[in-house]
Amino acid sequence: MDKGSISDFIRNLQKQYTVVAPVRRRDLILFDELGSSDTPTLEFANSKLPPKGFFFPRSETLFRFSAKSGKMELTPAQTKSKPAVLMGVRPCDARSLVLLDKVFMTEKYTDTPYSRKRANTTVVGMACTDPRTTCFCGSVGGDPFDASGIDLLMTDVGHGYFMEALTQKGEKLLPHAPKTRSPTREELQKQGWIKSKARAAVERELPVEQAETNLENIYEDDFWDRVAAKCLGCGVCTYLCPTCHCFDITDDILDSNGVRVRSWDSCVYPLFTLQASGHNPRKSGKERMRQRVMHKFNYTVKNNDAAFCVGCGRCVQDCPVNLDIREVIKAVASQRRAALQPKEAPT
Amino acid sequence: MKNPYIPDLATIGRIITENEAEDIKTFELSLNGSELAYTPGQFAMLSVFGVGECPIGIASSPTQLDTLQFTVKKAGVVTAALHECEEGATIGVRGPYGNGWPIRDLENRNVVMIGGGFAFTTLRSLAQYVLHSSNRDRYRDITIIYGARSPGELIYKRDLEAWSQRGDVALTVTVDKGDSGWNGREGYVPTITREVAPSAEDATALVCGPPIMIKFTIPVLRELGFSPQDILLSLEMRMKCGIGKCGRCNVGHMYVCLDGPVFSVAQLEELPKEY
């Protein structure tokens, strides 16, 4: 599809779908619903916030309650019925949705606010042609052209987009794309060249697979004191993380009406696990830092068969004290080697 | 599909103040049209609308068909609001959640229940269950050791009285320090457990109490010959969802809401000490 046709593509889609795509808001690239004359910003490294918020919003009403003449009534929150297209999703972020599905859509308990939106949404991926220096999807099982979680994959090849339908949902979008044609041999060559250049640019060597065992070996190590000493506990890493999904549930009231709301929460906050008795099982920064790293690279591997990190690098880019998860993973490996080495006999 | 976060409505019936300090109350609930099919040791999320939600162990037994009870100590924001509720008030209940006590595995075994203070609630559920006429012959010797700080802090006094009249349960009640009207035992639960010395043979011990009591009771049970597999504890953690999503009640890779709250000491030995 020619780049010039993107507006028509979106107008066509908007007849049937709500279209959510990256847009520029001041100096930030964020996902937002497009209006009837908006065009998305499709030339970007990645959005400031991951698109997880579309399925799992920062704050979301679960239900309303009201006490009418002393009688309590609960009303479920309305969920939008119009199907949606989530466009311009980088492969790392699309993979995060597959991981979040493992938490929110289990056999025993399906999180309906999340799963309704997932079922109702078609994900249009945008292959990553120019990864950032902080990108390490290749180390966590991803790839700049990874298809997981994507229904239709678009690749920017300069003058136009390659459009590859990967699922039935994705195929349904193709008829809405105007003036599409088969790629020429030169264009295919160019796509191949773009792919290998992007793949070469992402960090692939982090010892992530060994992290599960490495972490267990250094669980009690004072290594965690040293890592935590730097952390301010601001939580920005968890808010920007496409796989972080911890939440709080609270009530808001006005007169006799109220809402029960779920909002993003963060394991790096001291109140997160504080009990009513005053006891706190993760009482200092050390336990909380360890929890965050263990949860991503050990607990989820045990429970969900996958590390909950997609290598997007957002936490690396925006940490105010430059705590770098890549460095932590490397340090965990060398720390473990040190821990396993026999201690020198005192002389 | 039902939204798992929407509670069922329930009406508070009888409210029983359990202790002298009046900060432990048992609430009898009747569900408005729904059912809660639970087993002893499970918990539910209770809602006071406008204040919030918190996890509370179920204190009644499924054999008590006509009642659903929760014993609540006034500790945080939601429990304080519950204590303000009067008979007839509407609250929310969702659940039951968690694994509960292993009532099937306990069959044909000797069951030793050791409780301290207000944490006795889900053991009381289990006691009611195993002592019920329809279940009693499926369990062998039943021993209950229960202690509180003072006579006024003993909860479920009517149950303790009823059990003491039965010939098929070995009940020992103790207080840390008695008062002028107290004729019973004095002493901490771990000490009394050593004195009572329940046999470890074909037995499972279930322990619920304040952390300090648990800490000193486990070594006593180990001395008596109980293996780590046969000592069960029920953990408490801060929770929001109760269904393994909100990410805060984990101990290592286990979620207290899904994999617990009942864990064996053997299981806990494999997990980080973050509880």
> Mean pLDDT over residues B103-129, rounded?
96
Q: Report pLDDT digits (tens) over A292-331.
A: 999 999 999 999 999 999 999 999 999 999 999 999 988 8
Please tell me whether residues A50 and A139 are part of one structural domain.
Answer: yes
Cα gap B183→B207, rounded to integer Å? 25
Give pTM, 2 decimals: 0.92
Predicted complex ipTM? 0.91
Q: Which residue of B has its CA nearest to A304?
A: B253
Question: Over 90: is that where the pLDDT of B275 sits?
Answer: no
What tokens does A109 get?
């308990």
Cα gap B218→B176, rounded to integer Å? 18
Using left for φ > 0, alpha for ψ between -120 and 50, and beta otherwise, residue B252 falls in left
Least confident of A113-122, A198-207, B109-118: A198-207
> Mean pLDDT over residues A266-282, rounded?
92
Q: Report pLDDT digits (tens) over B249-268.
A: 999 999 999 999 999 999 99
Q: What domain count does chain B have?
A: 2
Looking at residue A80, its pLDDT comes to 65
Mean pLDDT in chain A?
A: 91
What tokens does A58 get?
């920062």
Q: Let me know if residue A70 belongs to a domain.
A: yes
Whether the CB of B272 is below 8 Å from some CB of chain A: the reply is yes
Please tell me whether residues B127 and B24 are part of one structural domain.
Answer: no
Q: Let me know if residue B183 belongs to a domain.
A: yes
Contact A310, A99 (CB under 8 A): yes
Please tell me whether residues A262 and A149 are part of one structural domain.
Answer: no
Compute CA distances B30 → A303, B61, B66, B84, B109, whole Å: 37, 14, 9, 18, 34
Asked if A65 and B53 come within 8 Å (Cβ–Cβ), the reply is: no
B223 C-beta neighbours (distance < 10 Å), count: 12
Question: pLDDT category, A79, cuts 50, 70, 90?
Answer: low
What tokens does A315 get?
């936490």
Asked if A265 and B248 come within 8 Å (Cβ–Cβ), the reply is: yes
> Mean pLDDT over residues B132-153, rounded?
96
Distance of residue B2 Cα from the nearest chain A Cα, in angstroms: 7
> Mean pLDDT over residues B175-187, rounded?
93
Please tell me whether residues A301 and A188 are part of one structural domain.
Answer: no
A249 Cβ contact list (under 8 Å, min separation 6): A62, A260, A261, A262, B5, B52, B53, B240, B241, B246
Task: Extract the runs of DSSP E, i.e. beta strands, from chain A.
Answer: 18-25, 28-33, 59-68, 71-76, 84-89, 121-126, 152-156, 161-165, 247-254, 257-264
CA neighbours closer than 13 Å in the CB half-sphere of residue A78? 3
Question: Over 60: is that where the pLDDT of A202 sits?
Answer: yes
Question: pLDDT category, A66, cuts 50, 70, 90?
Answer: very high
Please tell me whether residues B75 and B135 are part of one structural domain.
Answer: no
Q: Let me know if residue B240 belongs to a domain.
A: no
Q: What domain count does chain A have?
A: 2
Looking at residue B104, its pLDDT comes to 96
Please tell me whether residues A191 and A302 are part of one structural domain.
Answer: no
> Mean pLDDT over residues A108-124, rounded?
94
Among B40, B66, B97, where does a domain finish? B97
Q: Which domain holds residue A9?
A: 3-201
Looking at residue A341, its pLDDT comes to 64
Identify the residue among A275, A286, A298, A308 best suited for mutation to test binding to B, counting B beta carbons within 10 A and taking the highest: A275
> Mean pLDDT over residues B195-217, rounded?
94
Looking at residue A78, its pLDDT comes to 76
Looking at residue A256, its pLDDT comes to 76
Q: Report pLDDT digits (tens) over A117-131.
A: 999 999 999 999 999
Mean pLDDT in chain B?
A: 95
Looking at residue A300, its pLDDT comes to 94
Helix-, strand-, coil-residue percentages of chain B, each rounded to 5:
25, 30, 45
Q: Report pLDDT digits (tens) over A211-240.
A: 888 888 888 888 889 889 999 999 999 999
Q: Which domain holds residue B221?
A: 110-234
Contact A221, A157 (CB under 8 A): no
Q: What is the CATH number of the domain that holds B53?
A: 2.40.30.10
Please tell me whether residues A187 and A217 are part of one structural domain.
Answer: no
Contact A87, A21 (CB under 8 A): yes
Please tell me whether residues B185 and B152 are part of one structural domain.
Answer: yes
> Mean pLDDT over residues A140-164, rounded?
94
Contact A142, A198 (CB under 8 A): no
Q: Let me know if residue B102 belongs to a domain.
A: no
Question: Over 60: is that where the pLDDT of A346 sits?
Answer: no
Question: Over 60: is that where the pLDDT of A343 sits?
Answer: no
Please tell me whether residues A155 and A49 are part of one structural domain.
Answer: yes
Whether the CB of B1 is below 8 Å from some CB of chain A: the reply is yes
